[in-house]
Amino acid sequence: MLGIGEKHELPTILLIDDDLVSREVIATVLTLHGHMVHSAEDGDEALRMLGAGSFVPGVVLLDTQLPGLSGPELIAQLRQLGQDEIILISGSTPSDELIAAADGFLLKPFGPEDLQKLLSQHNPKIDQPHDAKAEELIINPTTLAQFRQLMTETTVREIYSAVVTDLHKRLATLEKAIAEGNRDEIRRIGHAIKGGCGMAGALQAARIGAFFESSSDQLDNCALALQELYSATERLERMLEKEFPA
């Protein structure tokens, strides 16, 4: 379900809940209060939606009793895709393990004001030191394997070389846009980075691009994210040299 009447100051929400009635009620209430809401009935569907890159949720609302992929394993995969706000929702209190893995918990039924109060108490992880993402995958191994099945090693290397070259150009433009406070340009560049790097499976750069697209009004955080993008570009270059030696 896609919400209508989006207010840009409110985060886009990905709601993951296998109960149809609960999913529709929560999505409707949040939509009426200005959120754009996308919904999935299980973890696998949610991961496919995020992998497609058609939207960037600011918040993931995750039911604690899903069929199939769920719990800490699903949260770990959501983190790899750059989700910094994962809030558990349930009619009963989740396990300590789940609560520790997420960023908060809302007891059903809850209202938009409960969500806003919880979000105000949590600082996005983009504010953490840049090495907090050190264990994040640089390249999606599935994407790389698919490229290698379809193309020669030389062609694959050329693809990632082009990605690195493009990132260097966009970094300079992005730095200027942040210094000038040009939010529209920050958003535009972020969208381009998210799309191009996402197609190439460059996970770190795509995640940061998505942040610029969705949070261009947070100039201080954008300045921090810019440094993280420089680091991600350097890691991609090192991977390229190691994986595809000249």
178-221 pLDDT, tens per residue? 999 999 999 999 999 988 898 888 888 988 998 898 888 888 88
Is residue 32 over pLDDT 90? no
| pLDDT on residue 198 | 87
Q: What is the DSSP string of 39-84?
A: EESSHHHHHHHHHHTS---SEEEEESS-SSS-HHHHHHHHHHTT--
| pLDDT on residue 1 | 40
Residue with structure tokens 């009963």?
A: 92
Contact 64, 94 (CB under 8 A): yes
> Tokens representing 32?
């009426």
pTM: 0.51
The residues near 213 (Cβ < 8 Å, ≥ 6 apart) are: 56, 187, 190, 191, 194
Q: Which residue has the higher pLDDT, 123 or 100?
A: 100
Domains along the sequence of the chain with CATH: 13-122 (3.40.50.2300), 130-243 (1.20.120.160)
Average pLDDT of the segment spanning 46-70: 85
Average pLDDT of the segment spanning 145-174: 92
Q: How many CB atoms lie within 10 A of CB 242?
A: 8
pLDDT band at 136 (very low <50, low <70, confident <90, very high): low
Average pLDDT of the segment spanning 125-153: 69
Mean pLDDT of the chain: 83
**Percentage of the chain exceeding pLDDT 90:** 29
